[in-house]
Amino acid sequence: DAGVTQSPTHLIKTRGQQVTLRCSPKSGHDTVSWYQQALGQGPQFIFQYYEEEERQRGNFPDRFSGHQFPNYSSELNVNALLLGDSALYLCASSLLAGGRETQYFGPGTRLLVL
Amino acid sequence: AQSVSQHNHHVILSEAASLELGCNYSYGGTVNLFWYVQYPGQHLQLLLKYFSGDPLVKGIKGFEAEFIKSKFSFNLRKPSVQWSDTAEYFCAGGSTLGRLYFGRGTQLTVWP
């Protein structure tokens, strides 16, 4: 049973560029959440997708956008990259279960913005 | 605003010592609480979770946590740590909407 997978594992971009990160959820899961983890900090919630719609959004600018596909996989897009966007980006998948949702995390994509 | 705090940023123990890591959350209403662990070079893994019911929750690898509503706490415990428990531990909480709020994490180092 494959867990949550993310690609790529590492990425280097320059300021102003755009980046797309990808996530495949754990088998049987229908919800995908994205988090940003800066060095020395806990993960910060970016947004969550369910049924191809953004269900919740954290305190991130509109430069951060996402998408969920019919097969439940998801993409995170970041436009106009800033140095401060350098971080580990985590994807978590879960099954929407009446308020008892457990999120399982992928290995993350480490983004470095130069 | 909802938040989760972990007061111990780095804990150093010898093998066989007992462990307690603190976690406090700051919101009312229905709360779901979790402890995740990140071993060196690995991704975040679920240790245990609490939704409702028995406030003492048992997880994997001998870990347990107690939900104390009056203290807004969900501390993680293990009676006897091993060298292999060296890792970073994250407490997280959320409402029924699914978004998780994470603490800053506690780095646990266990000396053999």
Q: 3-class DSSP state for residue A63?
A: coil
Q: A86 CA to chain B: closest CA distance, Å?
A: 18
Kindly tell me if the per-residue pLDDT of A1 is higher than 70. Answer: no
Looking at residue A113, its pLDDT comes to 98
Q: What are the Cα distances from residue B11, in Å, to A102, B14, B77, B87, B98?
A: 27, 10, 13, 10, 30
Q: What CATH number does the domain containing B74 carry?
A: 2.60.40.10
Structure tokens at B109: 């180092």
Instruction: Determine the average pLDDT of the residues in A53-60.
Output: 94
Q: Do A102 and B30 touch (CB under 8 A)?
A: no
Looking at residue B97, its pLDDT comes to 75
> For chain B, what is the domain count?
1
Average pLDDT, chain B: 93
Looking at residue B1, its pLDDT comes to 62
Q: Do A90 and B101 touch (CB under 8 A)?
A: no
Q: In DSSP terms, which residues pair with B45 in a beta bridge?
A: B37
Instruction: Determine the average pLDDT of the residues in B92-108.
Output: 91
Q: B12 CA to chain A: closest CA distance, Å?
A: 17
Instruction: Determine the average pLDDT of the residues in B90-104.
Output: 90
Q: Identify the structural domains of chain A with CATH numbers, from first to last.
A: 5-113 (2.60.40.10)
Task: State the residue for tokens 């010898």.
Answer: B14
Nearest CA in chain B to A4: B43
Mutation to test the B interface, candidates A26, A100, A109, A110, most B Cβ within 10 Å: A100
Q: Distance between CA atoms of A106 and A114, rounded to whole angstroms? A: 25
Instruction: Look at residues A36, A2, A6, A43 and name the one whose alpha carbon lies nearest to residue A21.
Output: A6
- Exposed e or buried b per residue across B59-90, where buried means at least 16 C-beta atoms within 10 angstroms of its C-beta: beeebbbbbeeeebbbbbebeebeeebbbbbb
Looking at residue B21, its pLDDT comes to 97
Nearest CA in chain B to A98: B96
Instruction: Determine the average pLDDT of the residues in B33-57.
Output: 95
Q: In DSSP terms, which residues pair with B19 in a beta bridge?
A: B78
Tell me which chain B residues have a C-beta less than 8 angstroms from the C-beta of A106.
43
Instruction: Determine the average pLDDT of the residues in A96-102.
Output: 81
Mutation to test the A interface, candidates B33, B34, B44, B45, most A Cβ within 10 Å: B44
Q: Which domain holds residue B23?
A: 4-111
Q: Distance between CA atoms of A65 and B24, rounded to whole angstroms? A: 31
- If you ran DSSP here, which 8-state letter would residue A80 be given? S
Instruction: Look at residues A55, A32, A37, A34 and name the one whose alpha carbon lies nearest to residue A46.
Output: A34
